[in-house]
Amino acid sequence: MGKTMIQKIIQRASGKEVQVGDRVWCRIDLSTARDFGGPNCVLQFDEVTDKGKVWDPDKIAFTFDLQAPAHAEKVANNQKIIRDFAKRQGITKVFDVNWGIGQHVLLENGLVKPGDVILGTDSHMNLLGGVGAFATGVGNTDIVASWINGTLWFRVPETMKITVSGTFAKGVCMRDFLTFLVGKLGADGMFFKAVEFYGETIEKSTLADRITLCSMVTEMSGKVGLIMPNGEVLDWLVKRAGMEVLDRVQTLKADPDAVYSDDLHFDVTGLEPMASCPDAPDNVKTVREAAGAHIDQVHIGSCSNGRFEDIAAAFEVLKAANFQISDSVRTIITPSTREVMKQCAEAGFIQKFLEAGVIFTNPTCSLCTAEHYGVLPGGDVGVSTTNRNFIGKVGKGSHTYLVSPMTAMASAVKGVLTDPRDILK
Amino acid sequence: MEQNVLRGKAWVFTDDVDTDLIYHNKYLAETDPKKMAQYSFEYYPGKEKFAKEAKPGDFVVAGRNFGTGSSREHAVYCLKELGIPVVLAESFARIYYRNAINNGYPVLFVKGLSDAIKEGKIQDGDELEVNISTGEIKDLTNGHTFHGDAVTDLEKDIMASGGLIEYLKAQAAKK
């Protein structure tokens, strides 16, 4: 019987033939922690090992993204705990507050290959499945265990197969498909499963789109979404991560007779801009249905939609509106990494955004925590390209619509929730 | 009363209780598990006083997908530190489940709990009797009974050791 991608990845990492439901110990290729969760890992590791040595300093990385740079003493002290630990342990892969969102930084720095097993203290680690890696968010105890012996236990999941065909209409993009999918399948629609994405729409998609797609698997309770790199994405990845990528793509792709728990097909032709309405990602409507809703703030960024292509899409909407945004909303754009910020500068976007009155920030997770800039006061409504809008997530009593970068910018232009097709005529 | 039979009051929650409702991201900078208890469910509408009013031995009772969202282990520590002996839910989100097991913190998968909560068959303040060994759950207030499944396989062994780190130490000692 054939194997799915996740089964092959776990077989490579565990050295065992596996079936769905097996519990196995996998070798870890990269175990990471960030400025949140990271200090807890360090303190716990020092406690349980009596300040012992990590299993392999070259396979550990730290990223600083949730509150970068530090805005409070407690956070600054937490960041120092990580820096001191890295120095003591000889860990050199430390991407400090000037780098950006962890998974994106790891990817840009060539530390991610298809089939790698990667851990991190971020539940959206699995966006690295966009290049075929099995990355997963875990708590500090899992990280500490991996630092001790370089392995961690996993249950081999079932795999759902999703095939996507068709071409997006103007003003519609991968984020809209994802929002549609979250609405269709629900918050636990991929419960504990791995997901493989196929079809012409996926094959033609950019790395940014694949990241969006795989990051939102978390919002359907999936373990990881996997796309084997092809075309331009494969070329990009080989340049960053080396020739071994090509071998991995061949050896770890799913067998033609692999067994899937579900086989779903979607056509994005005719899909409209979609919104996750307050207060849950799976409370989905078309933007048309929810249009005109009062809003106070617009935010474009996050690990889901903070790539250059995402910001470029927002820029096109702003351009179509003659670079005018509404005075009634606060508009914030946060690139995912320094590299993305540099691309935005080179393209001339930042100048235009600033002239329009947009707040263009340093690369960070920004609005994914209520302890960073852009926090909403009670009663305010935000529009955001982040991945969660749970009750009060970015401020008690506030509410958020999750949308695509185009819908977010269209809403910034009009000052109310707006379908981008009204502007991109 | 048998040691494995626990009695306490039910605190009832819905489906899809996310980690921001259990332990809000505002307090993520906290590194001392003991200090995390005071923030439990502070952002859950109607349960803001949970941390002050819940007594050691009370139960958290929830529907599907409990603990969905972030990977923060704070969301397990806070309930453990408060003395909540076990979380009863129809199902648990993946990372929350791992974090509970890795801390030796008991969770029971209770079939039908999501619907029972929606239908009011189990309510805030109900007196529950929970047999951790057999999974039998009695609502002494209204007489309804439920059955919870404890974890199996490797997770059972990790739980028996008291958590993942303890399990690894025990394995290393055997070699």
pLDDT bin (cut points 50, 70, 90) of residue B2 is: low
pLDDT score at A194: 98
Mean pLDDT by 10 residues, chain A (425 residues): 96 97 98 95 97 98 95 94 98 98 98 98 96 97 97 98 98 98 95 97 98 95 97 98 98 98 98 97 97 98 97 98 98 98 98 98 90 90 95 91 98 98 94
* pTM for this model (two decimals): 0.96
Backbone angles phi, psi at B144, to 5 degrees: -70, 145
How is residue A153 written in tokens? 């236990």
Q: For B93, which residue in chain A has the nearest alpha carbon?
A: A221
Please list every residue in chain A whose beta carbon sits closer than 8 Å to the beta carbon of residue B162.
none
Contact A370, A353 (CB under 8 A): no
Per mean pLDDT, which range of A8-12, A84-88, B24-28, B107-111 is the poorest? B24-28
Q: A246 and chain B: CB distance < 8 Å anywhere?
A: no
Shortest CA gap A215–chain B (Å)? 12
Mean pLDDT on B128-148? 95
Q: Give residue for tokens 């935010």.
A: A299
- Across the interface, do B31 and A39 touch by the CB < 8 Å criterion? yes
Least CB-CB distance to A78: which of B29, B98, B102? Answer: B29
Closest by CA position to A270, among listed A202, A141, A183, A170? A170
Q: What count of residues does chain A have? A: 425
CA A103, distance to chain mean position in Å, is 7
Which candidate in B17, B19, B28 is best for mutational testing of the A interface (most A CBs within 10 A)? B28
Please list every residue in chain B whose beta carbon sits closer than 8 Å to the beta carbon of residue A39.
31
Residue B1 has pLDDT above 80, yes or no: no
How is residue A127 written in tokens? 């966006």
pLDDT score at B4: 83
How is residue B25 written in tokens? 């991201």
pLDDT score at B87: 98
Least CB-CB distance to A138: which of B29, B98, B154? Answer: B98
CA A265, distance to chain mean position in Å, is 23
Q: Is the peptide bond before A188 cis (omega within 30 degrees of 0)?
A: no
Alpha carbon distance A160, A206 (integer Å):
22
Q: A207-245 burial string, b = 16+ CB within 10 Å, else e?
A: bbbbbbbbbbbbbbbbbbbbbbbeeebbebbbebbeeeb
Q: For A194, which residue in chain B has the nearest alpha carbon?
A: B94
Which candidate in B43, B68, B99, B152 is best for mutational testing of the A interface (most A CBs within 10 A)? B68
Q: Tell me: the pLDDT tens digits for B38-63?
A: 999 999 999 999 999 999 999 999 99
Which candidate in A23, A126, A138, A141 is best for mutational testing of the B interface (most B CBs within 10 A)? A141
Alpha carbon distance B135, B147 (integer Å):
6
Q: For B95, which residue in chain A has the nearest alpha carbon?
A: A138
Per the DSSP assignment, residues forming a β-bridge with A135 are A118
ipTM of this model? 0.94
Residue B110 has pLDDT above 80, yes or no: yes
